A and B are shown apart, each in its own frame.
Chain A
């Protein structure tokens, strides 16, 4: 397909690489469909069970590959079996990167449907070839009254395919992993909810405007201007930001001072949201950020927001910013609140999980413990990885543990730590501190 190849060229390398492992799964799943339908030609009575099982097996295989690499860090808090939902998140948000570009006529049609006009009638200039892929759509350049704009257009049917794929794979994946569906249902629905929110561009533009307003005082942080009048359920129009994605930015050999500055913005941005807004941009992967030449950070995607209810926020951050961990009784009480230790655990189990989770929280909280933290230190991340590896092998972690909020809060914080590590930044970690109203 020479044409689609050409259009795919414009996707940033990082995304191409990240999705590479899913291409294989995609082929396999496609192959399963072909197999199914060719069998069905000869045997019309054939039902889809076999097809679903084939698909689930292939998807599961790619999930387990992931387990080895990309998910190491997330494994920590996600306690092995919670990995599955996390893998779903990545599987579905990333496999969509492989979606072929929308054709020109479909773009024209999408515009006509929502605005009654073609993009050429709305904008002074509109580039019908997309310049970048977004997680569930593609980005086009346009200009209006001398302003350069970025137009994000969603692939059709994304929402439907998320729900149906999740539904299709769920029971089989659980069977393959040998665990109960009921147990994981609560995590799965959390993931599905977030994923579906991502497909709602009306919601995204509302949040983008709210968050960019709320965060506007953070130094060196920039947001594109949003144009709600030129946006709809499938289209978001925003100002164009010039900048580089992190990977390309690092290739320009930026000075330590600039890296620190960018790292500081990242830290401030995330901790301001977590502790002041109690709702956080929960998709800290490098594709959602642009770095300008003078070290400013542009945030370009508010698709995934995780709100943190007080009954999660208070106990969780009380562990990082009070001295609870010194007091075993209080620590266990907090672990119980967060369902990391369960009601029916035996005293031996309580002791075991107390030790393991205490170690984990201490690791997680290290950056909070001092005024500044050097994220370039390899040792700290080695400890994180090793801990994750160890946890993954422990038979005690066969069950899922912890409240559902952990999935996205972990993804956010470890994603943040990872980006800071990639930047090699030294940041002040005392800028936005957790507010704990009821120290226990």
Chain B
């Protein structure tokens, strides 16, 4: 077969890679093998990606970026609270994942679910954390979320943990149309944001501080 005249795009490379791993159940032995199977030169591969890890990561980050662009372009986006923005992102992301479910399952399985982050989604982590930091700041400015010393900087980590949890949940979800994952998102994100919001605990803490500082008064009380 004659070598393709048109230059291959990054997306075509990604698709070819997905097709390869899903057909063979394993990643190609080398870039050479992969390039040959697709009538490419190694150079064409390296123009876009440094390694197979790199191409897998890029598939993930592209999905994630696409989900973000999708929700941000919705008319209603500007009316959403931080909580709703987080929800909208998760719904959109999971919806997009459906189109690549086999690859996602393959990728999660083969990058090893160790403690920490599977290598394939390290790029996604950066995007999600940047997004989370953005909506959290916005929420703190608008008063929707509580600004707590020491903890505020950890909010985005909590959202990343939710991300991992939801992804895992979806990977194992057998319900029709992944309904259960919708519930997991709705509940999980709501609980997380409930914790971010000003709550009775903040008041209690504040009250405790007040009593500590003014504890001397206790001795003057007769009861």
Using a CB–CB distance below 8 Å, which chain A residues touch chain B?
Answer: 1-4, 100, 102-106, 108-109, 112-113, 118, 120, 128, 156-157, 160
CB neighbours (8 Å) of B185 from chain A are 106
Question: Which of B76, B79, B175 has the most chain A CB atoms inside 10 A of its CB?
Answer: B76
A156-B182, A156-B186 known; A106-B79 Cβ under 8 A:
no
Q: How far is the CA of A2 from the CA of B200 in the complex (A)?
A: 11
CB neighbours (8 Å) of B68 from chain A are none
B141 at interface (Cβ–Cβ under 8 A)? no
The binding surface of chain A is classed by DSSP as: helix
Given contacts A106-B186, A120-B75, A157-B179, list 18 more A-B pairs with CB under 8 A. A1-B190, A3-B81, A102-B186, A103-B83, A103-B189, A104-B84, A105-B84, A105-B87, A105-B88, A105-B91, A106-B91, A106-B185, A108-B91, A109-B91, A118-B74, A128-B76, A128-B79, A156-B179
Q: How far is the CA of A198 from the CA of B64 in the complex (A)?
A: 37
CB neighbours (8 Å) of A105 from chain B are 71, 80, 84, 87-88, 91
The binding surface of chain B is classed by DSSP as: helix
Chain B 160-193 per-residue mask, 1 if CB under 8 angstroms from chain A, else 0: 0000000000000001010110110110011000
Range for the number of chain B residues in contact with chain A: 20 to 34
B157 at interface (Cβ–Cβ under 8 A)? no
Q: How far is the CA of A112 from the CA of B95 in the complex (A)?
A: 11
Question: Which of B180, B183, B197, B198 has the most chain A CB atoms inside 10 A of its CB?
Answer: B183
CB neighbours (8 Å) of B175 from chain A are 160
Q: How far is the CA of A3 from the CA of B177 in the complex (A)?
A: 28
Asked if B179 and A100 make an inter-chain contact with CB atoms under 8 angstroms apart, the answer reads no
Could you tell me which residues of chain B, from 80 to 139, have a CB within 8 Å of some CB in chain A? 80-81, 83-84, 87-88, 91, 95
Asked if A120 and B179 make an inter-chain contact with CB atoms under 8 angstroms apart, the answer reads no
Shortest Cβ distance from A37 into chain B, in angstroms? 14
Shortest Cβ distance from A34 into chain B, in angstroms? 12
Q: How far is the CA of A102 from the CA of B71 in the complex (A)?
A: 18
B194 at interface (Cβ–Cβ under 8 A)? yes
CB neighbours (8 Å) of A160 from chain B are 175
CB neighbours (8 Å) of A3 from chain B are 81, 83, 144, 197
Asked if B87 and A106 make an inter-chain contact with CB atoms under 8 angstroms apart, the answer reads yes
